[in-house]
Structure 1
Amino acid sequence: MSFFEEQCPEMDGYLENHTSVEPDILKRLRRETFQKTTQPHMISGYLQGRLLAILSKMITPKNILEIGTFTGYATLCLAEGLAKEGKITTLDINAELAYLPKKYFHESEFSAQIDFQLKDAKEFLKETDEFFDFVFIDADKENYVEYFNLIKPRIASGAVVLFDNVLWYGKVLEESPKQKSTQKIKELNELITKDEDFENLILPLRDGLHLIRKK
């Protein structure tokens, strides 16, 4: 939740009413996510989804990597901007929930461009020789720093990386957080800010998106 949403609950509705309409398949996926999962708040959602779609369309990436598929909402948003022969690789380890993203990936116009793998992202990044021009990370926060370090050699100049939940419900303001996830998110934000290979900006959309670009 952003500062504006917290101070003015009506702001979320206003923003959605003045944002491009999400495709019907995403509307249906969002509804089913809330009906069939125990943590539906993990979905990227309307506003963040439109941001991902617009950024992808601006970049027209040939090779996208997503770490943390959940129900596939963000995957389909990112796929909207794929180059004609491009692909998106999306990774998750939740086999029990895999039926849901698979269902919507199969229905979507991007089905042939989506490579959904039930695989640990750290293992994937250590094994792959691929380069990615757009990366979206919304997974286990304790591994955010390791993901960043593993991704750096796999992106070229001009590549864009997004980390989700980098404000962590405001916990990043704690001086000495006890929660490991908070510690790692704070460490990531500091690491990125001090890394001269990147230019960066934290967007206060929902729970915070750290937008970085390789120089």
Structure 2
Amino acid sequence: MPEFLIDEAVEDYAYVSTQAEPALLQELIDATNENMGWPQKLSGRLVGRTLKMLASLVQPKHALEIGMFTGYSALSIAEGMPDDGKLICCETNPRAIDMAKHFFQRSEHGHKIEVVFGRATDTLDSLDIELDFTFIDADKRSYLHYYEEVKKRTRPGGLIILDNVLWSGKVLQPESELDDILVETNHRIATDPDVENVFLTIRDGMNVVRKRG
């Protein structure tokens, strides 16, 4: 996966021109790079600050994250949520969960986060709440399924955000079944009468979707 899909100097300028994340999140980045495989799965400043700002605008009481990894994006979302908000995070990697919980315990926003170990589809099936805000950043083969299931459970005006929707640029010339799934998901969202969306070229692509109502 290429590190930069756009000019590296432009990416760097966007990074330094975005206000820094809290010191605890910077420490989490370092710990993830030092101790976890595939540390590039971590969202990073541009995605994280976007999530925090969107959460601040929406003020979700009920939020969901599908694919937590070590908790950077979860803490970014929680930072923007009201104090009585609840963010349910789905994750299947025990080592990632252990690291995330360590940082959640140290954060003033950690009490808003509930970690659920297991398949996100099982967690979705068990939800009995209407969602205000969802961030999807997990198994790409299930993206379309996640989107459709989350949309059913999202209130009118709620947000659904999908990460990695550029898929390292492979959506431009798909060569595999996985590439095709991302292309199909993006097309489905762009033509879905139930929602409005904007496709952002932040990092590896973010699709920000608002349910109509």
TM-score by length of 1: 0.94
Paired amino acid for 1:41 = Q
- Map 1:1-215; keep pairs closer than 5 Å: 6=5, 8-174=7-173, 177-215=174-212
Amino acid at match of 2:58: I
* Identity %, equivalent residues: 36
Deviation of 1:43 after TM superposition, in Å, equals: 0.5
- The answer (yes or no) to whether the contact 2:5–2:168 under 8 Å persists in 1 is no
Give ranges in structure 1 of 5+ residues lacking alignment: none
**In 1: Cα distance, 2:129 partner to 2:49 partner:** 27
Instruction: Tell me the distance in 1 between the aligned counterparts of 2:27 and 2:112.
Output: 21
The structural deviation recorded for 1:38 is: 1.5
Deviation (angstroms), 1:125: 0.9
Which AA in structure 1 matches 2:80? Answer: G
Native 8 Å contact 2:83 2:112 kept in 1: no
Q: Indicate if the aligned counterparts of 2:151 and 2:160 stay in contact, CA closer than 8 A.
A: no
Contiguous gaps of at least 5 residues in structure 2: none
Structure 1 segments, 4+ long, off by >3 Å, are: none
Offset from partner CA, 1:108-137 (integer Å, 9 cap, x none):
112221101112111111121111100000
Distance 1:192 1:8, change over 3 A: closer
SS in 2 for 1:112: helix
Q: Secondary structure at the match of 2:151?
A: helix
Find the aligned partners of 2:95 and 2:85 in 1 and give their Cα distance: 28
Post-superposition Cα deviations, 1:139-180, rounded to whole Å, max 9, x if no partner, equal 000000110121122111100010001110111112xx3422
Whole-angstrom distance in 2 between the partners of 1:158 and 1:167: 25
Secondary structure of the corresponding residue to residue 124 of structure 2: helix
Number of matched pairs: 212
Any idea what SS the aligned residue of 1:172 has? Answer: coil
Secondary structure at the counterpart of residue 193 of structure 2:
coil
Question: What is the RMSD computed on CA atoms of the aligned residues?
Answer: 1.7
Whole-angstrom distance in 2 between the partners of 1:7 and 1:155: 33
Task: Name the SS for the 1:48 alignment partner.
Answer: helix
